[in-house]
Amino acid sequence: MTRTRETADIVGHVKRNGATRYKNLYLPSSLSIGRGCPRCSALVVRRLVSLTSTVDAFRIHGVSKPRSKPVVWPRRLPLPWMLMVSLMALLVAAAPAEAVERLAVLELSGGNLTQDEQSILSDEVRGVVVKALADGVQVMTRENMEVMLSDMGIDAACVAEGACEVETARNLGVDYVVTGSVGAMGELLMLSLKLHDTRNGQLLASERAKGSDSVDLLNGISAAAKALVAPLSKSVDKGPPEWLGGDDAFLSLWRTCADKSEEECRSAANPFILGKTRSVADVLRVFRSGCDQGVGWSCGHLARMYYSGVGVEEDRASAVSLFDRACNAGHATSCDNVGALYLNGTTGVPRDMDKGASALQRGCDVGRPSACKGVGIYYRHMAVPKNPGKAVAPFGKACQLGSAEGCGQLSGMYELGEGVAQDWTKSLSYGEMACEGGRPVSCDNVGIMYENGSGTTKDDGKAAEAYAKGCRGDYALSCHRLGYVMLFGTDVAKDEGKAVVLFRKSCEGGIMEGCKNLASMLAGGQGVPKDEKEAVSLFRKACDGEFASACSALGLMVRDGLGVPKSASKARLLFAKACDAGDEEGCELQ
């Protein structure tokens, strides 16, 4: 089978998406030991001496055919220091009620799901919870939760035991925990979600979702997860926060950013950042206050002002720090931004691939498709060494969240057998999703697969449909391939006139083969009035563009004086150029 050419623009991805783990530390408000799960408690006791701080997880081609294609803490502290740590913990535990509450979403279990499916479903629940709770409750990322569990010596088997889930969450220092399991009921998968208050073990809510398979189940998670945490949402809805200063304009922005998408929040914030709604000084003051209260979008927009030097002196290092705080607070767009800045490096901030990938993973964890795609791009193309196997899950989640690029990358990986077993059928399926999502290069690849019968039955009609979509997306190579199918396809009505139009469009798009094919049709009057002068011009363009057979064709026109003065010597030079470039006809003619 002919292999398609999966053509991701890696340089573009680096520019757009700009990776040891990046951790902040905090002292937990409680460290509950000895209740509910003896096995887990024993593990914690064995590690308590070394556990003096935990990770703060609550914080970013006649006509030629187209060619197919990490803070290090001491292990032990002197007893007086250990007592001081304990006293500090008690003081924190006695903090005022308005302290920010924290929640962890533990990984889903059961249902004979693969690890990737469990991760994607768990991340979907986590992302919905982050959005539903907005600024009221801080949600822990999976990555930092895993670090903390590892530091406490708790393994996945312990967490999977139902009696241990609430206990585990207490040891993580969170106030609430969401747990879930998937089971089979007939031909359906059933997801059961539960919300517990870790301080008293009370079951606050439970919800269910069902689906015919893991993908269908993913689509039903959003409503269930949002309903599950509704009691918390109500408990934290205490009206406008004081840091808004009672200003109606800022109140409107707060409501937009709390209730609508990050894109709508960004659009609403733009007039403020530009000083069109309130003075830039007032905007900076309010955004700083919100950021100090842990409001993700407020940190994110403040970061934008420092990055661009709006109302303050441009300070990229401060912008990166603020984007990182916003990302840790669940502002997914900021995870994209800080990830890109670390991956590329910027003024005052050296390039750090690990931090960049970590920030993108946090964005992916809360359901940002572009962040998931960025994680995949990192592992597939940028990590040292590259690890395409780890790119499969983030690309899969990006695809399921509607990222055409994520689907297209997966298509290419299955086509090439890169990080996965080669599977033309899956490559075609993901390619079609990417094409429908507006990725023209994937439409082109799908067309090639149908034209060649790769992973499906050969079908020129479907190939033509796919090429047409790619061409409409201004992917010039698809226009050229469609023109060829219009001339020689077996399941498509021959249409020389359309082929001429398509070859012209591909030529204008920089496809030299399209220029050569259009010239051939003009020279012969095929589907268009004969025009030898334009044919010569197009042959020359293709020849100058290093399309060898066009040099041979131009040589023939020059030799015979068609549309150009006759010259045997010039013709021989053109034949020699074609031959040197590998064109057999040029070698025969010189």
Task: Give the CATH number for residue 126.
Answer: 3.40.50.10610
127 phi and psi angles, rounded to 5 deg: -65, -45
Res 365: pLDDT: 83
**Around 201, how many Cα atoms within 13 Å sit in the side-chain half-sphere?**
10
543 C-beta neighbours (distance < 10 Å), count: 25
- 268, 272, 276, 282: CA torsion to nearest 10: 150
Q: Is the pLDDT of residue 82 over 80?
A: no
111 pLDDT tier (thresholds 50, 70, 90): low
Sequence-distant (≥ 6) Cβ neighbours of residue 16 within 8 angstroms? 340
Q: Is residue 560 part of a domain?
A: no
Res 348: pLDDT: 84
pTM, entire model: 0.64
Q: How many domains does the chain have?
A: 1
Res 187: pLDDT: 80
In angstroms, the CA 532 to CA 221 distance is 64
Q: Is the pLDDT of residue 5 over 70?
A: no
Q: Is residue 47 part of a domain?
A: yes
pLDDT in tens, 488-507: 988 889 999 999 999 999 99
195 C-beta neighbours (distance < 10 Å), count: 25
519 pLDDT tier (thresholds 50, 70, 90): very high
Residues forming beta bridges with residue 207, ordered by sequence position = 193
375 phi and psi angles, rounded to 5 deg: -65, -45
In angstroms, the CA 380 to CA 391 distance is 6
In angstroms, the CA 391 to CA 351 distance is 21
Res 220: pLDDT: 80
Chain-centre distance of CA 231, in angstroms? Answer: 31
Q: Alpha helix (H) ranges present in 260-403? A: 262-273, 280-292, 296-308, 316-328, 332-344, 353-365, 369-377, 392-400
**Pairing mode of beta strands 101-105, 137-139:** parallel
Q: Is residue 400 part of a domain?
A: no
501 phi and psi angles, rounded to 5 deg: -60, -40
Residue 316 near residue 345, CB atoms below 8 Å: no
DSSP 100: P
CB-based burial label for 300 (10 Å; 0-12, 13-18, 19+): buried
DSSP 66: P
Does 80 sit behind a cis peptide bond, omega within 30 degrees of 0 on the bond before it?
no
Res 134: pLDDT: 64
Q: Is residue 15 part of a domain?
A: no
**Around 335, how many Cα atoms within 13 Å sit in the side-chain half-sphere?**
30
Domain containing 155: what range? 31-58+100-236
Residues forming beta bridges with residue 211, ordered by sequence position = 189
DSSP code per residue over 370-425: HHHHHHHHIIIIISSS--GGGGHHHHHHHHHTT-HHHHHHHHHHHHHTSSS---HH
Which of 313, 357, 372, 363 has the alpha carbon at shortest distance from 334?
363
Q: Is the pLDDT of residue 251 over 70?
A: yes
Q: Is residue 108 part of a domain?
A: yes
Q: Is residue 322 part of a domain?
A: no
**Around 387, how many Cα atoms within 13 Å sit in the side-chain half-sphere?**
11
Q: Is residue 231 part of a domain?
A: yes
Report the range of poorest mean pLDDT among 33-42, 129-138, 300-309, 574-583.
33-42
Tokens 């935990």, located at residue: 54
**Pairing mode of beta strands 188-197, 202-211:** antiparallel
Which of 391, 483, 404, 393 has the alpha carbon at shortest distance from 442?
404
Q: Is the pLDDT of residue 533 over 80?
A: yes
Res 173: pLDDT: 78
Q: Tell me what the mean pLDDT of segment 510-526 comes to.
A: 96
* End-to-end CA, the chain: 35
Q: Is the pLDDT of residue 171 over 90?
A: no
Which of 236, 207, 211, 212 has the alpha carbon at shortest distance from 223?
207
Res 154: pLDDT: 64
Q: Tell me what the mean pLDDT of segment 396-425 comes to.
A: 94
Res 151: pLDDT: 61
Res 128: pLDDT: 86
521 phi and psi angles, rounded to 5 deg: -70, -35
pLDDT in tens, 59-76: 223 555 665 543 333 333
In angstroms, the CA 242 to CA 545 distance is 65
Q: Is the pLDDT of residue 433 over 80?
A: yes
Q: Is the pLDDT of residue 360 over 70?
A: yes
60 against 464, higher pLDDT: 464
